[in-house]
Chains A and B, each alone.
Chain A
C-alpha cells in the first residue's frame, strides 16, 4: 500500500512517558498541549505588549478574542459578576479552541511515533475530563464565594424532594461536558481517517472543513456552558 509513509490508525494506544513510581503520562497529549499553551502565551503576549488606542497587527486579534469571551461571560453571568470569572472562561475557551484547531490544522500524521500518534489534546479523554472537573470546581467555588453557606439552599429548590435530582445533576454536568467535547473531536478525526483510507484525495476536504467548523463551535459551546453553570449558581 501507499500509506506506509504515514503513521497507522491507532485507537487507544499512547506514547507512554513513565516515571519510576507507577506514574504514566500520555506523551502525545502532553507534547501537543504544551505546544498549544506555549503558542497561546506567545500570541497573547505579542498581542498585548504595546497597547495603542488604534490597534494594529496582533493587537487586533487580541481585541477580537477579548470581545468574544467577554460577550460569552457577560450574557451568561450579568454585568455585576462577569468580570471575576472572565479569566476562567477565557482560559477554557482559548485552550479548547487552540487544541481543537491544533489537531485539525497541523498535519501530525506525517510524524511517526514509536506508539500512538500525535493529535489534538482533546482527543484524549483525560484532557476533557480535567477541563470538565475544573469547570465543576469553578462553579462550586463561585457559589460558595458569592453566596456563602447559602449556596446549599440551591439543592432544595424548588422543593425539598428535588434534592436527589439536584445532587445527580452535579455529577452529570461534568460528565456531559466531558463526553461532548471528547466525542466530537474523536468523531471528527475518525471520520476523516476512515474517509482518507477509502478515498485519499479531495473527497475528505469538505469533511475536514466541517471538522474545523465543528471544533471551533465546540470550544464556543464548552465556554458558554461553563459560564452558564457559573451564572446559574450565582444568580
Chain B
C-alpha cells in the first residue's frame, strides 16, 4: 500500500519536474533566439558569429531542462524510496 502511494507520487513528481524544468529555459531560449534574430536582421554580415554564440548559449539553457529530466528519470527508474 505504502509502496503504491510512493509510486503514484513519484509519477506525479516526475511530471512536475519535467514540466517546470521546461518552463523557465523555454522563456529564456525564446528571448535569446528573438534577440539573435533581431541582431541578424540589423547586421546580416554577423550571422555566423551570432549563430555560434546562440547555439552555445541555447545548449547551456537546455542543460537546465536536462537537470529536471535527470531528476524525473531517477525518480521513475531508480527511486530510492521504493521497495527498500
Q: Interface on A for B, CB 8 Å cutoff?
A: 11-12, 176, 179-180, 182-184, 186-187, 190, 214, 217-218, 220-221, 224
Contact = CB atoms under 8 A, between A and B. Distances in A.
A182 B77 contact: no
Interface stretch (B5-13, B25-33, B36-44, B56-64): B56-64
Interface of B: 55-56, 59-60, 62-63, 66-67, 69-70, 73, 77-78
11 contacts: A11-B77, A176-B63, A179-B67, A183-B63, A183-B66, A183-B67, A186-B70, A187-B66, A190-B73, A218-B59, A224-B56
A184 B63 contact: yes
A11 B75 CA distance: 13
B77 A184 contact: no
A183 B59 CA distance: 12
Given A220-B56, A224-B56, 6 more contacts: A12-B78, A176-B67, A179-B67, A180-B67, A183-B66, A183-B70
A83 B67 CA distance: 33
A11 B59 CA distance: 25
Contacts of A180: 63, 66-67
A115 to B, nearest CB: 15
Main secondary structure of the interface of B (DSSP, over half): helix
B56 A221 contact: yes
A204 to B, nearest CB: 19
Contacts of B59: 214, 217-218, 221
A220 B69 CA distance: 21
B69 A183 contact: yes
Contacts of B62: 184, 214
B59 to A, nearest CB: 5
Contacts of B60: 221
Cβ-closest 6 pairs across A and B? A183-B66, A180-B63, A183-B70, A11-B77, A179-B70, A12-B77
Best-buried of A11, A176, A184, A214 by chain B (most CB within 10 Å): A184
Contacts of B70: 179, 182-183, 186
Nearest to A225: B60
